[in-house]
Amino acid sequence: MCFMNNGHKKVGIMGGTFNPIHNGHLRLAECALVSFSLDEVLFIPSGISWLKAGQDIPKSNIRCEMTALAIEGNSRFKMSRIEAQRQGNSYSYETILALKNQNPLQDYYFIMGADSLVNLENWKCPDILLRECVILAAVREDVDRKLLEKQIDHLKDQFVCDIRLLSMPRFDISSTMIRRLVSEGRDIRDYVPRKVVQYIDEKHLYRQS
């Protein structure tokens, strides 16, 4: 278990496919940064999982470039290619172990949506992930907080873990919605940082549904 308040740097981890990254991801990261006084948030675009090999997901490099454009200008947001560079599946527990190995003096806070917390037992080696970092689980304003607290108690019964709730305002967008809007030729400027909108346009991404 991590020992907090030890002078270690507090680093949030924001993982995702980021296909594309959008303002919901950025708000979630910002909310975690402020609410838990993190020093920085590390955005980690996923590699292409063999499970999704048949799907039309832009190469990790493209998703990394969009992520870099989205966080540019915010000195507390960083990006890591640790999963993008790995072949095949990236498991979060492997990522955490690799990061801790590289940076033993950092404490990690894994940021996730409530949906992921409910599904966490099905991830590979949840015991290792839970042992190695604090989990920040985002509660959207309308989600049943009681239900999540029950899930946290359930996880605490089985694993050594430190799971904390992160309250954030509801912002109903997803990458799926952005891709659909682009394919329909509609405007995404309210949901995606300007430079990412430009990039999507220049690279002709998501034009076909």
List residues near ligand ATP by CB under 6 A: 16-19, 24-25, 28, 112-113, 115-116, 138, 171, 173-176
Question: Smaller CB distance to ligand ATP: residue 17 or 49?
Answer: 17
Smallest separation, CB 203 to ligand ATP (Å): 18
CB 156 within 8 Å of CB 163: yes
Smallest separation, CB 3 to ligand ATP (Å): 26
Strand 106-113 vs strand 40-45: parallel, antiparallel, or unpaired? unpaired
Question: Smaller CB distance to ligand ATP: residue 158 or 174?
Answer: 174
DSSP 178-202: HHHHHHTT---TTTS-HHHHHHHHH
Smallest separation, CB 143 to ligand ATP (Å): 11
Q: Which single residue brings its beta carbon nearest to ligand ATP?
A: 113
CA neighbor of 17 nearest in space, from 135, 169, 165, 174: 174
Burial of 57 from C-beta contacts in 10 A (0-12 / 13-18 / 19+):
middle
Question: Smaller CB distance to ligand ATP: residue 8 or 177?
Answer: 177
Question: Smaller CB distance to ligand ATP: residue 8 or 65?
Answer: 65
Smallest separation, CB 20 to ligand ATP (Å): 9
For tokens 């689980």, what's the residue? 137
Secondary structure of the chain: what % helix, strand, coil (to 5)? 40, 20, 40
Question: What is the rounded distance in angstroms from the CA atom of residue 94 to the CA atom of residue 49?
Answer: 14
Smallest separation, CB 105 to ligand ATP (Å): 26
Q: Torsions phi, psi of 178, nearest 5?
A: -60, -45
Question: Smaller CB distance to ligand ATP: residue 101 or 208?
Answer: 208
Smallest separation, CB 5 to ligand ATP (Å): 26
Question: Smaller CB distance to ligand ATP: residue 115 or 201?
Answer: 115
H/E run at residue 146: helix 145-158
